[in-house]
Structure 1
Amino acid sequence: MRWIHAAGRGLLVLVVILTGYVTSGARAQDGSGGGRGPLTLATAGDLTHYLGPLLQGWNRTHPGEKVTLVELPDSADETHAQMATDLRDGDRSRFDVLNIDVNWTSEFAAAGWIRPLPRDRFPLGAFLDPVTDTATYEGRLYAVPYVTNAGLLLYRKDVLAKQGVPPPRTWAELEHDARTIAPKYGLGGYAGQFLPYEGLTVNAAEAVYSAGGTILGDEGARVTVDSAATEGIGFLARGVREGWIPKAALTYKEEESKQAFQDGKLLFLRNWPYAYVLASAKGSPVAGRIGAVPLPGPDGPGTSVLGGSNLAVNAHARHPDSAARLIAYLTSAPVQRQVLTRGALPPVRAALYEDPGLIRRFPYLPTLRESVINAKPRPKSPRYDQVSLVVQAVVHDAMSGHETPAAAARRLARELSAIPGR
């Protein structure tokens, strides 16, 4: 699963399997007590391989709670399916602590799969402002932010410099440059993550939000699709129809789109910050020739979807005290720094975005901070999995030319309204 982080690099999911005796009582219900034991941490798609070295620090100082790392599938959809299947087993579940996509918090909380957490046990005040909202449901804290994310527009700064133009701030500028400049250099114009999976939900939501619209309101109670959805879907569909979005992009997830940009095949790419890091690394064909700016919108900077992941505790966790202690460790300042420096993943601690040394090493940090502060979460819903499937299917059909953007927006509203208990 990629980090989307909405993600993102693809979305990292951690699952802690806490073995040992089952606890009971009030402390077990709020995650603040109940015994300690060894842990198994599962992650999907740890593509930078940072977790193993990071967890060595925990294992050295917590010999009775050693963590064994296990990886789940890369795909967010596959990981969600595996986690949901396991959590439905109740007290037979193997999973005790879950690092879930930020948009699964409401769904998992509403289903009773994860337990509320005590706010005073975690450093919420040190986090970037928007991220804590992704960890709440109906006013209660059900998870702790671990990694945040926001989409950026990566671009070939060498190509734009030769043309004497700045990076685009609006959709019109992006379209013009992708249509007229890219072909001169044998490049595709613009790509995102347009395969029908969670990444397309993110890209579609960003287009709708940037156009001034929303998709759901009141944590799923209202469908709010309006003319802005037509405008946002129209922007994406127009790109494919006019050719400045390559048709191959309809098959891209995060990694495929990153690789196309890194191989020098694209002028512009919407992706998470990890793509900037890898495309800038030694040996990359475009190293030293790329830049990053906020996503464009119709009249100026657009709106990114807030990606990342949150750490939650299974309602049937066998060692909730160990679970809470591990969460506190993973969100501590030293570990959050390693999340960035080892994993190329955006931390939730606000102070790291103002560290001069980190900015020198990761020059996109000020842009990323701006994007995170202005980002919006994906539609909150206890049936988010179904909401996302509808968005993916409708938008992909529009981008494939099977229906007009206006018809797609009407269908989107109709099918979302038909989801029971959304």
Structure 2
Amino acid sequence: MVRRPIPAALAVLLGLLVTACSAAGAQETERFGGTGPFTLVIGRPATAYLQSLLDRWNQTHPGERATLLELPEAADEQRAQMVANLQARSDRYDVLGLDVIWTAEFADAGWILPLERAMFPLDRFLPPVVDTAVYRGKLWAVPYTSNAGLLFYRKDLLAKEGLKPPRTWGELRDQARALHEKYGIGGYAGQFLAYEGLTVNFAEAVQSAGGQILSPDGTKVTMDVAKAKAGLDFLVGGFREGWIPPESLSFKEDEAQLAFEEGRLAFARNWPHTYGPATTSAVAGKFGVTRLPGANGPGTGSLGGYNLAVSAFSKRQKSATEFIRYFTSLENQRRVLADGSFPPVWAELYDDPGLIKRFPYLPVLKQSILSARPRPASANYDQVSLAIASAVSNALTPPFTEHDSEDVVSSMKGQLEEIIRAQ
């Protein structure tokens, strides 16, 4: 067979194609296989204990050192800073510590990368926690910590009055009112400032009345007005009757935690990480933890926590992925609980006798997480949360005669339907 020479023009064209493909391949390798120093960005209070874990990684990975970048405490502010970075397609952030409610939004916007399920021992994690990292059938992040709201209570005061921890709203109301009147302290508080925390508290009230706000996939408003009204009435009643102190309208997590630790509250709704600090506070040895109460029995909390994702604009994506594998390992998950008082995602740690001895609330927390509901996987979750928090805040603010719970809930439902239609 006689080989004919390639025409000069065609040779030039082929050369350009080979060069372009090589450049594209190199770019692909750099973007999806890049290694080197990287940044972990995550919000307080999840950062307090992390440096020791980072130091362990850095000691064995000197060429891939991890640097911690701390964001504010409030989830709204964390999201705002991350979104600004990602919209600018900046490569400053590599590993993103995402609130579990952001998975859908960040994946839908193309800001994070899908991950290989086989790289992570997801079958050993608590199932509801894994669900928070999945969107449209793909794994977009890896669960790092979990969370579910708990009721902190003054067991010393309940013992004096011959009372058991409340299981229903009625019991909580009666006990909170009685302790408020007898001991001159606030009866109950949660997170009632108009921000994401108020959305969570309202969602828990609705769920604990047997309702929900959106469908699990976030595509439909499924709010039952009567059940949502029952949840809102529970909170409004507390402020109207005085067993929820007015000052708690300004409470986020830290303010509610401080008020309880200083002995100014009989009951407080908060996340599990506040347990550790309370053991060295003015109420050390005087408090207990139980599940949130509901309308007719134990309530249903909102599933919280952090997932770790890889920024789509990172140039160190291979290092970032390997770091996530390290950071979510069983050994480090034990430290997450032992050093940070944050709920781990590995199921077996909740049955560890040594950990239960140190953290007696673990069995209760496991039940709370398994029964908790994730917040809706809506790509417009920030707008959903803003609409809820604004409406509920208005309802909790006196004078209460101007706010009818049914009207508030009906109006809120209409706003949410508009937001969902715009997705």
In the TM superposition, what is the alpha-carbon distance from 1:49 to its structure 2 partner?
2.1
Deviations 1:317-367 (A, max 9, x none): 212111110100110011111111111111101111111111111111111
CA distance in 2, matches of 1:38, 1:23: 19
| Counterpart AA for 1:74 | E
Matches within 5 A, 1:286-365: 286-365=283-362
Tell me, in whole angstroms, the C-alpha distance in 2 between the residues paired with 1:320 and 1:235.
47
The answer (yes or no) to whether the contact 1:23–1:318 under 8 Å persists in 2 is no
Does the Cα contact within 8 Å between 2:39 and 2:94 map onto a contact in 1?
A: no
Change (3 A) 1:93 1:62: closer
| Kept in 2: contact 1:23–1:34 (CA 8 A) | no
Describe the shift of the 1:143–1:48 C-alpha distance in structure 2 as closer, same or farther (beyond 3 A): closer
Q: Deviations over 1:165-188 (max 9, x none)?
A: 100000000000011233211211
Q: Which residue of 1 aligns with 2:8?
A: none
- Please report the TM-score for the alignment, with normalisation by the length of structure 2: 0.90
Number of aligned positions between the proteins: 395
Tell me the equivalent position of 1:260: 259
SS at match of 1:358: helix
1:224 corresponding residue in structure 2 = 222
Tell me the amino acid that sits aligned with residue 255 of structure 1.
D
Q: For residue 324 of structure 1, what is the amino acid of its counterpart?
A: T
| Residue 386 (structure 1) aligned to one of 373, 383, 386 | 383
Report SS of the residue matched to 1:154.
strand
Relative to structure 1, is the Cα distance of residues 327 and 217 closer, same or farther in structure 2, using a 3 angstrom cutoff?
Answer: same
1:150 is displaced (CA, Å) by 0.5
The question of whether the paired residues in 1 share the 8 Å contact of 2:216 and 2:376 is answered with: no
How far apart are the structure 2 equivalents of 1:417 and 1:48? 36
Counterparts of 1:395 and 1:231 in 2: how far apart (Å)? Answer: 13
Residue of structure 2 in register with 1:120 after alignment: 118
CA contact (8 A) 2:95 2:309 kept: yes
Which residue identity does 2:408 align to in structure 1? A
Displaced runs of 4 or more, over 3 A: 22-25
2:422 maps to 421
1:52 & 1:148 partners in 2: Cα distance? 20
3-state secondary structure, aligned to 1:346? coil
Report the Cα distance in structure 2 between the residues aligned to 1:48 and 1:165, rounded to whole angstroms: 38
Q: Which residue of 2 aligns with 1:43?
A: 42
Would the alpha carbon gap of residues 87 and 327 (structure 1) be closer, same or farther in structure 2, given more than 3 Å must change? same
Aligned AA (2:403): E
Give the Cα–Cα distance (whole angstroms) in 1 for the partners of residues 216 and 244 of structure 2: 34
Match of 1:40, SS state, is strand
State the alpha-carbon separation in 2 of the partners of residues 236 and 68 from structure 1: 42
Matched, 1:404 2:401: no
Change (3 A) 1:183 1:23: farther
Q: Could you tell me whether the CA contact under 8 Å between 2:42 and 2:98 is conserved in 1?
A: no
- 1:97 counterpart (78, 95, 115): 95
Task: Report the alpha carbon displacement of residue 47 of structure 1 after superposing the two structures with TM.
Answer: 6.6
**1:216, 1:380 within 8 Å by CA — same for their partners in 2?**
no
SS of residue in 2 equivalent to 1:388: helix
Superposed displacement of residue 23, structure 1: 6.4
> Deviations 1:216-261 (Å, cap 9, x if unpaired)?
1152211111121111111111111111111111110000000000
Q: Which amino acid aligns with 1:367?
A: V
Name the structure where helix makes up a greater proportion of residues. 2
1:258 is aligned with what amino acid? Q
Q: Distance in 2 between matches of 1:28 and 1:306?
A: 36
Q: Following TM superposition, by how much is the alpha carbon of 1:276 offset from its aligned partner in structure 2, in angstroms? A: 1.9
Give SS of 2:336's match.
helix
The structure having more radius of gyration, on CA atoms, is 2
CA contact (8 A) 1:170 1:299 kept: yes
What letter matches 1:188 in structure 2?
Answer: G
1:208 pairs with 2:206: yes
Instruction: Note the C-alpha offset of 1:48.
Output: 6.8
Name the amino acid aligned to 2:154. Answer: R
> Displacement, 1:190?
0.5
Q: Bigger CA drift: 399-408 or 287-296?
A: 399-408
Question: Alpha-carbon deviation of 1:69?
Answer: 1.8
Give CA deviations for 1:36-78 in whole Å, capped at 9, x if unaligned.
1012223322477211111110001111111122211222111
CA offset digits 1:12-42 (Å, max 9, x no partner): xxxxxxxxxx9644x788xxx5031012223
Name the residue aligned to 2:193.
195
Cα distance in 2, alignment partners of residues 246 and 418 from structure 1: 34
Cα distance in 2, alignment partners of residues 296 and 23 from structure 1: 57
Q: What is the CA–CA distance in structure 2 between the aligned matches of 1:47 and 1:262, rounded to whole Å?
A: 19
Q: Structure 1 CA distance, aligned partners of 2:30 and 2:335? A: 30
Ranges in structure 1 where 5+ consecutive residues have no aligned partner: 1-21
Residues 42 and 236 of structure 1, relative CA distance in 2, 3 Å threshold: same
CA distance in 1, matches of 2:422, 2:322: 34
CA distance in 2, matches of 1:187, 1:128: 37
Give the counterpart letter for 2:67 in structure 1.
T
SS in 1 for 2:340: coil
Is the Cα contact below 8 Å between 2:37 and 2:316 reproduced in 1? no
The aligned counterpart of 2:64 is 65
Task: Note closer, same or farther for the CA distance 1:48–1:309 as it changes in structure 2 (3 Å cut).
Answer: closer
| Structure 2 unpaired stretches of 5+ | 1-24
Question: What is the match of residue 180 of structure 2?
Answer: 182
